[in-house]
Amino acid sequence: MVEYNLDCLGEACPVPLMKTEKKMGELNVGDVLVVAIDHSCAMKNVPEWARKQGHNVEIEEVDDGEWEIVIEKTK
């Protein structure tokens, strides 16, 4: 398992989702991607997309209006 970080702070939809999709395609099963976001639209869209793809998703608010979305690639 390898953990990768993706900084999407200051970026609005659909950029964080597009970056997340691209990066997830490069990961191996079992790898984890931590996406840092501060945009409420991405906060909804990124985890929703990841769950639809069948990945494990956890969301952690690290600061007021700033989140880390932890996505474990499952397939």
pLDDT at 6: 98
pLDDT of residue 54: 97
Active-site annotation, residues: 13
pLDDT digits (tens, 9 = 90+) for 35-57: 999 999 999 999 999 999 999 99
Say what percent of the chain tops pLDDT 70. 100
pLDDT at residue 17, as a whole number? 97
pLDDT classification of 14: cutoffs 50, 70, 90: very high
What's the pTM value of the predicted model, to 2 decimals?
A: 0.94
Q: Show the domain range for 50.
A: 3-72
SS3 content of the chain, % helix, strand, coil (to 5): 35, 35, 30
The count of structural domains within the chain is 1
CATH of residue 43's domain is 3.30.110.40
